[in-house]
Amino acid sequence: MNEKIKLMSSPFIDAKEVSENEIYHTALKKWGIKFQVIMLGEEQAELFKAISKQVRKPTTTRAIEIAEELADVEVMIGQMKIAFGIPDEQVRVWKKAKLTKLGSLCGLIK
């Protein structure tokens, strides 16, 4: 999952294509693993808060906020995979096992 992303540093500068991994590596180098782990916790807390608000008092517009917080957490997870040397394939294998277990608990898999 190392696709190129077109970034724009300002409206007056041409877009530059960089990979997700390049962004993650640069962020980790700039702020360090310890700080980014703390940021992961903060982003997860913001996601939890947005979801909790939606559960308590549903609105049709809160989905946008939840989507933004999900994106923040996904970006931080991408950094954690690099920081701790976890290949995407390893996560896919675990995710498949977890989904199989969930499917079984839901009665979809026997």
Pinpoint the alpha helices (H) of 1-110.
20-56, 62-83, 88-105
pLDDT the model gives residue 70: 98
Give the span between the Cα atoms of 85 and 81, in whole angstroms.
6
* Predicted pLDDT at 17: 79
So what's the pLDDT on residue 80?
98
Q: Residue ranges per domain, the chain?
A: 33-105
pLDDT of res. 35: 98
* pLDDT at residue 109 in the model: 87
Looking at residue 1, its pLDDT comes to 56
* 3 state SS of 8: coil
DSSP 10-34: STTS--EEEEHHHHHHHHHHHHHHH
The pLDDT of residue 9: 61
Angle at the Cα of 95 from the Cα atoms of 65 and 71, rounded to 5 degrees: 20
What's the predicted TM-score (pTM) here? 0.83
Q: Is 5 helix (H, G, I), strand (E, B) or coil?
A: strand
Going residue by residue through the chain (110 aa), what tens digit of pLDDT does each one get? 566 666 656 555 555 678 899 999 999 999 999 999 999 999 999 999 999 999 999 998 899 999 999 999 999 999 999 999 999 999 999 999 999 999 999 999 88
The pLDDT, as a whole number, for residue 6 is 62
